[in-house]
Chain A
Amino acid sequence: MSTATEEKKAPLGGRFVGATANYLDERTSLSGFVKALGRKVFPDHWSFMLGEIALWSFVVVLISGTFLTFFFQASMVETYYTGAYDPMRGIPMSVAMESTLHISFDLRGGLLVRQLHHWAALTFVAGIGVHMLRVFFTGAFRKPRELNWVVGFVLFVLAMAEGFTGYSLPDDVLSGNGLRIIDGMLKAVPVIGPWISYLLFGGEFPGHDIVGRLYALHILILPLIVIALIAIHLVLMIVNKHTQFAGPGRTNSNVVGFPMMPVYMSKMGGFFFIVFGALVLIASLVQINPIWGYGPYDPSPVSAGTQPDWYIGFADGALRLAPPHLDWVIAGKVYPMGILIPLIVLVVFIILVAIYPFIEAWITGDKREHHIAQRPRNAATRTAIGAAGVWFYAMLWAAASSDLIATHFRLTMEGVIHALQIGLILGTVVVYFITKRVCIALQKKDREIVLHGYESGRIVRLPGGEFQEVHKPVDEYERWKLVADETFEPLIVRPNDQGKIKGKFRAAMSRWFFEDRLQPLTNAEYQAALEHQEHALHEFGDDDHGHGAIESGDSKH
């Protein structure tokens, strides 16, 4: 280290910055970290920012939540409200509810922060949802990202748990009825149901303990796990690097995009401020969860239109769609199948989503790393399965508001519920088939554009009298996005040495997945098609100088 040379030129950013950087680096090896990440390249596509919607709304949830913890008191001791809001004055309620009313009505900006917290929570889970859908439909969960998929999926479940524990804290009639429903569902568990309920509520429902316990979960245990998993999720994303869509210059072994400093830092940072700002804007303008209207929890009152927050809707809807009289009595013991069947269906659905990457990996047997995000149309069966899954979830979700659908669209609630039951079972199958066919049709359309160009909108008349539309070739960079270089073929099983056929199930699954497919174009076919297009174009003419054709509206001759 030659100090003489260094003193001659000023360090980047000035002497103070230089000295600070040096101080830190000498104690933390920070330079290595910055070197690795500073100019890291991120690919650019809007659908890659959906996870950030979740991440930044989580930061907003944390910030607003921290403010609230200074004022909220998670106690179920009885007190009386004596504040500003007339309809609640003198009403006995828990300290939890009273402190929430205090935050809302007596604290400047308190209601703003409470609403911000709740709106941000809704956005957090929704952000995870759209992000998960993007990852699914582009196949970004394939090796090496299967574990990250599982981590993300667990985050989804935890986010729902955070939301549920959170909105149950004010101990109001709406969320209290939600807890009542949870209690009823727990009691339905065979053998140990009433015991689980007894443990959770510290005795009979509602008891005096539940809000305090949910508070511990909501501000301590769950956030710790969520933050740890987010850290793992992001580290894995950095190690694996982000996927990218196929495109000119992009291969499976590179990343094309912009560097972290300065571009991505400002895009991500900017997006954080926009997400934060948008949420504060919504919190300033739109009311959410007006607990002063619901009143303190009492088992007796209930509101028409009792629904949980949107992300619990699918579970509530599943309960509503179960048919009646499903208690099974076996050997004197009761199995409330009207509750257990929806529970089992939901658990199976959730597990299937969680392990999907492993299912697909098993079927394809493909152990290579995949860093190219696929267009959904190019993985027809997966996309169809995903669409059917989304439909299934949507039917359950819609069912949670069956009574509101009935009043708003002037239908009978019975009709709505029956329609959703049919939609859930039959609709899922129909959506699967339609989606698969649409995907294959889109693949064919892409193929057609490659081979024959796109319709230019210019109509020419051939000497023989027929009208034809001129097709123009797509430029080579766009073309590249429309071709593939490999496909999957179903497994063909043959008898092994002992004459036994093994792997029939896998073969059947692979047939289901890959039987309907397009064979990729070879370069020879591709070049031939291009030549043909050029030739045709030359005949019809690019501008007004074509020969052999009479142009519509052309009076130049």
Chain B
Amino acid sequence: MAREKLKRRARGRRSPFAAAILIGVGLLATGGIYAGASAAVAATDDATTITTQASAEEGETLFQANCATCHGMDLEGREGFGPSLNGVGELAVHFQMSTGRMPMQMHGPQADQKPVQFTDEQIESIATYVQSVAPGPEMPSTRVIDGEGDVSHGAELFRINCAMCHNVAAAGGALTQGKFAPDIMDTTPENIYAAMVTGPQNMPVFNNMNLTEDDKRDIISALLYQQEAQAPGGFTLGSLGPVSEGLFIWIFGIGGLIAVAVWITAKSN
């Protein structure tokens, strides 16, 4: 402020680089907070399908203790609480529980992914139990999840069948009424298969007459490629396309260049 100029000049002004340093500190702080926050958000845990001594009996106990309140003791469902599990099979159980969606925490537009509540063995047990009383789609063969399929064919199928909800870069997208198709960059091959076959919540069912086992293998391979590939152009900014690019250029590009202009025209020390 000019009115204080006379006094401050005698003591020397701040360094002309002060503004740049402040901006740098601000950027680092914001970036650090963001990185920390992102890391803190729970991701799908990498459930591995280890064949254990999963037993249907243990599964039944677990089911009655944790799931029957909403899904009924005989998996018949409860009006207003949870649907019938008739025909869901072990694959659906594995999908819903290994991503933490089930047990559902509260009512909302959809069941969200959250920290997994059970160990792999427990999920196996419940899955075995459900498969025994409400048989349905089974866990995938090793071939279909081996990631050795035709990546370009898989990517083509992904673009036609999946990208409209999950985004071409698997970054997720919006659905109606607050629902959304999640980001699938951290999803395991088993769960990719499981989601296609069981059609969780509002996701359509992609049975083997729509997408064959080979098609699914190709899609899984393409998605795995996507998950592992390094972005050749640099930071992806969340792969949200022109929106994140525009935000970035306005905040950092124009913001930075205006800061430079302020520096250029500021009076030197």
Residues on A close to B: CB < 8 A?
44-50, 52-53, 86-91, 104-105, 111, 115, 119, 122-123, 126-127, 130, 173-174, 267, 270-271, 274-275, 278-279, 282, 284-290, 293-295, 298, 300-310, 313, 400-401, 403-404, 406-407, 410-415, 454, 472, 474-475, 477-478
Does A49 contact B261, Cβ atoms closer than 8 Å? yes
A474 to B154, CA, bound (A): 71
Q: Other CB < 8 Å A-B pairs besides A87-B154, A304-B163, A305-B173, 12 of them?
A: A44-B265, A46-B266, A123-B254, A267-B264, A284-B234, A287-B235, A301-B163, A305-B174, A407-B174, A412-B177, A413-B174, A413-B177
Cβ-based interface call for B87 (8 A): no
Does A300 contact B249, Cβ atoms closer than 8 Å? no
Shortest distance in angstroms between B31's beta carbon and chain A's nearest beta carbon? 13
- Taking a contact as CB atoms closer than 8 A, the residue among A127, A286, A301, A415 that contacts B237 in the complex is A286
Does A130 contact B258, Cβ atoms closer than 8 Å? yes
A130 to B6, CA, bound (A): 33
Does B264 contact A271, Cβ atoms closer than 8 Å? yes
A407 / chain B contacts, CB cutoff of 8 Å: 172-174, 180
- Taking a contact as CB atoms closer than 8 A, the residue among A270, A305, A472 that contacts B264 in the complex is A270
Does B246 contact A89, Cβ atoms closer than 8 Å? no
Interface string of B1-29 (1 = CB under 8 A from A): 11101100000000000000000000000
B237 / chain A contacts, CB cutoff of 8 Å: 286-287
Cβ-based interface call for B74 (8 A): no
A329 to B192, CA, bound (A): 47
- Taking a contact as CB atoms closer than 8 A, the residue among A115, A174, A304 that contacts B172 in the complex is A304
A53 to B250, CA, bound (A): 12
Does A53 contact B168, Cβ atoms closer than 8 Å? no
A411 to B179, CA, bound (A): 9
Does A406 contact B252, Cβ atoms closer than 8 Å? no
Shortest distance in angstroms between A341's beta carbon and chain B's nearest beta carbon? 24
A274 to B20, CA, bound (A): 14
Given contacts A86-B152, A287-B231, A404-B240, contact A122 B109 (CB under 8 A): no
A286 to B234, CA, bound (A): 5
Shortest distance in angstroms between A396's beta carbon and chain B's nearest beta carbon? 14
B178 / chain A contacts, CB cutoff of 8 Å: 406, 410-413, 415
Report the nearest A residue to B240, measured CB to CB.
Answer: A305
A308 / chain B contacts, CB cutoff of 8 Å: 242
Q: Can you show 24 pairs from A to B with CB atoms below 8 A apart?
A: A46-B258, A49-B264, A53-B254, A87-B226, A88-B152, A123-B249, A123-B254, A126-B249, A174-B241, A267-B265, A270-B264, A278-B256, A285-B234, A287-B231, A289-B245, A301-B163, A302-B163, A304-B171, A304-B172, A304-B174, A305-B241, A404-B243, A413-B176, A414-B177
A52 to B254, CA, bound (A): 12
Given contacts A86-B151, A115-B233, A475-B6, contact A46 B265 (CB under 8 A): yes
Given contacts A126-B249, A407-B173, contact A287 B260 (CB under 8 A): no
A89 / chain B contacts, CB cutoff of 8 Å: 151-152
Given contacts A304-B163, A404-B240, A413-B176, contact A271 B261 (CB under 8 A): yes
Does B242 contact A286, Cβ atoms closer than 8 Å? no
Does B253 contact A119, Cβ atoms closer than 8 Å? yes
Does B261 contact A91, Cβ atoms closer than 8 Å? no
A89 to B171, CA, bound (A): 22
**A-B residue pairs, 4 tightest by C-beta:** A304-B173, A310-B246, A287-B233, A403-B174
A278 / chain B contacts, CB cutoff of 8 Å: 253, 256-257, 260
Q: How many A-B residue pairs have CB under 8 A?
A: 209
Shortest distance in angstroms between B232's beta carbon and chain A's nearest beta carbon? 6
Shortest distance in angstroms between A45's beta carbon and chain B's nearest beta carbon? 6
Which residues of B153-209 are within 8 A (CB) of A?
Answer: 154-156, 159-160, 163-169, 171-174, 176-178, 180-181
A51 to B154, CA, bound (A): 47
- Taking a contact as CB atoms closer than 8 A, the residue among A290, A401, A406 that contacts B243 in the complex is A401
Given contacts A53-B254, A407-B174, contact A287 B160 (CB under 8 A): no
Cβ-based interface call for B33 (8 A): no
Does B254 contact A303, Cβ atoms closer than 8 Å? no
Does A122 contact B155, Cβ atoms closer than 8 Å? no
Does B159 contact A173, Cβ atoms closer than 8 Å? yes
- Taking a contact as CB atoms closer than 8 A, the residue among A270, A288, A454 that contacts B3 in the complex is A454
A284 / chain B contacts, CB cutoff of 8 Å: 234
Does B163 contact A310, Cβ atoms closer than 8 Å? no
The CB with the most chain A CB atoms within 10 A, among B160, B232, B242, is that of B242
A298 to B243, CA, bound (A): 22
Given contacts A44-B265, A86-B152, A126-B249, contact A105 B232 (CB under 8 A): yes
- Taking a contact as CB atoms closer than 8 A, the residue among B155, B166, B243 that contacts A88 in the complex is B155
A410 / chain B contacts, CB cutoff of 8 Å: 178
Does B168 contact A287, Cβ atoms closer than 8 Å? no
Does A474 contact B2, Cβ atoms closer than 8 Å? yes
Shortest distance in angstroms between A128's beta carbon and chain B's nearest beta carbon? 11
A288 / chain B contacts, CB cutoff of 8 Å: 233, 245
Does A290 contact B261, Cβ atoms closer than 8 Å? no
A289 to B240, CA, bound (A): 10
Cβ-based interface call for B34 (8 A): no
A280 to B40, CA, bound (A): 32
Cβ-based interface call for B222 (8 A): yes
Shortest distance in angstroms between A397's beta carbon and chain B's nearest beta carbon? 9
A87 / chain B contacts, CB cutoff of 8 Å: 151-152, 154-155, 222, 225-226
Shortest distance in angstroms between A283's beta carbon and chain B's nearest beta carbon? 8
Cβ-based interface call for B81 (8 A): no
Cβ-based interface call for B262 (8 A): yes
B234 / chain A contacts, CB cutoff of 8 Å: 115, 284-287
A133 to B229, CA, bound (A): 42
A267 / chain B contacts, CB cutoff of 8 Å: 264-265
Given contacts A275-B257, A305-B243, A307-B241, contact A119 B249 (CB under 8 A): yes
Cβ-based interface call for B248 (8 A): yes
Given contacts A282-B253, A295-B168, A404-B240, contact A303 B163 (CB under 8 A): yes
B132 / chain A contacts, CB cutoff of 8 Å: none
Does A290 contact B163, Cβ atoms closer than 8 Å? no
A415 / chain B contacts, CB cutoff of 8 Å: 178
Cβ-based interface call for B236 (8 A): yes
Report the nearest A residue to B172, measured CB to CB.
Answer: A407
B257 / chain A contacts, CB cutoff of 8 Å: 53, 123, 127, 274-275, 278
Does A478 contact B2, Cβ atoms closer than 8 Å? yes
A309 to B245, CA, bound (A): 8
Report the nearest A residue to B248, measured CB to CB.
Answer: A286
Shortest distance in angstroms between A63's beta carbon and chain B's nearest beta carbon? 18
Report the nearest B residue to A302, measured CB to CB.
Answer: B164
A104 to B231, CA, bound (A): 12
Does B246 contact A406, Cβ atoms closer than 8 Å? no
- Taking a contact as CB atoms closer than 8 A, the residue among B181, B252, B261 that contacts A50 in the complex is B261
A49 to B266, CA, bound (A): 12
A44 / chain B contacts, CB cutoff of 8 Å: 265
Does A294 contact B168, Cβ atoms closer than 8 Å? yes
